[in-house]
Chains A and B, each alone.
Chain A
């Protein structure tokens, strides 16, 4: 295991990124509340690195993905791609940079236009970026189909003729078409049958090893994340509570929340084990608790946790934790 930290300019840098959603009621209703979906996230993804982003549903991990993809703009903070802050670039200037970041979506049904053939779906990125002539594009599409394990005869099929696994392979082929430097995979297998999940994970792993593309792997499935990631960041209520190399994190989870998550992973070799049961519910991001977000459920909570928000502190090379008790 090498140190997974990038030593040159990272591919993606999130600098204290905040995304708030206003909650309005009715057409003339004022702002009734603010959902703090992402609240001060600082994160880097190095070239060729696979970063797993884990957390419960609603913790803001998908929003982080959308902000890096610039499908959404942050309320404050900077999202840098190759050193350029893309968070407020106009779409016209952004478009050439979009080649570098592609996305694989969670729902393989919603992510494919039902009125386009499979071949056309994969060809569209090439067409829009003016890559190749008609014959060249057709050849590229065929190569991409082969790369993701789809038969070339499927190019003329419409998505409704494809299975869930085939659809997700098609989504991956589309994401690969522009030879991106980063692929954001937002729960790419959670909508698939378990038997197909492994195939798609293996496909992504193979592609990563062949093309050296970096991955942001957003998931709530720790087993999958452990399998595929180099580094893992744990999110809780819009903040990152711990980030470390995969082996470090899974061997020595330091934040009490990470600890709880790791214990929840079923393991064959561990047998029956005492698990500390999670206490209470995840508080609403509409009105997050002050201080450390986790103090309402944390068995270690002290006075300071209720007052002050802990910042990420490096406790070992490449291992950062935000906890007053464990990383004072």
Chain B
């Protein structure tokens, strides 16, 4: 390093940072949106002007006003506060389900891609069958069997989101299995399970992270759809889908009730999609659109 290049480094670095930001604008926006919602989820009580269940029947079904920025519902509860506090429920369901789906998908995908013979083939066939069923239909069916509630919702979404992760990981594992460093590990005496965890998975993790963040947006949609149908989180918990569902009854008289949870859902889904696309462009330019 010469002195001249040292003195230039700061401006060069900031130009580089700016270029990076411009190139990864999706990622930046995605992180901002999802991060914003995460912040709201954690500090909802502090931010919300009212409690989630604070009723004031005198102000029921009122439109936006200074006291209630996005209006109130049929029981006079402040909708802004309910949407803010509801962020936690929607986000928790979506993230927990995707985390479970990712873990299950990693196990299944690794085995089906790496282990030759019947264990791989059985998993592969099961994943094939599961993939033919639309995710939403599968989730509704499982939720109906499990019964309404948070646990049923999470189980339904995790099960229906596992096959895509298993499939996408399998493809990558099949690719990595052919790399010489896997043979090299066999030669030095590394057992198969350690090869999977130490050599194959770390090289396949990027694709799982990308897929999981894209799935998180989908999970928000499925969770709120099930809530809307009454199969998800039950009232009075202010989960967004549940808010939509209860607001539907007053659609004629008080359309403002469904607008704020609707916007929140769209924005969060958008955030996760931007995050997933941005991660893909950043981490794995090969598969970029």
Contact = CB atoms under 8 A, between A and B. Distances in A.
Partners in one complex: yes
A107 B178 CA distance: 12
Nearest 7 CB-CB pairings of A with B: A125-B188, A111-B180, A115-B202, A110-B180, A105-B180, A113-B181, A128-B189
Interface of B: 179-181, 183-192, 194, 198-199, 202-203
Interface residues of A, number: 28
A124 interface: yes
A124 B188 contact: yes
A129 B190 CA distance: 9
B189 A112 contact: no
A306 B180 CA distance: 39
B187 A101 contact: yes
Contacts of B180: 105-107, 110-111
Contact of A124 (B183, B185, B202): B185
A114 B199 CA distance: 9
A113 B186 CA distance: 13
Contact of A98 (B181, B188, B202): B188
A32 to B, nearest CB: 20
Interface in A44-74: 69, 71
Nearest to B190: A128
Given A105-B184, A116-B199, 12 more contacts: A95-B189, A95-B191, A96-B189, A98-B188, A103-B187, A106-B180, A107-B180, A111-B181, A113-B181, A124-B188, A124-B190, A125-B188
A106 B202 CA distance: 23
A128 to B, nearest CB: 5
Contacts of A101: 187
Contacts of B198: 116
A128 B181 contact: no
Residue of B179, B188, B194 most packed against chain A (CB within 10 A): B188
Contacts of A171: 184
Contacts of A125: 188-189
B188 A71 contact: no
Nearest to B199: A113
A105 B183 contact: yes
A128 B187 contact: no
Given A103-B183, A105-B183, A110-B180, A115 B203 contact: yes
Nearest to B201: A115
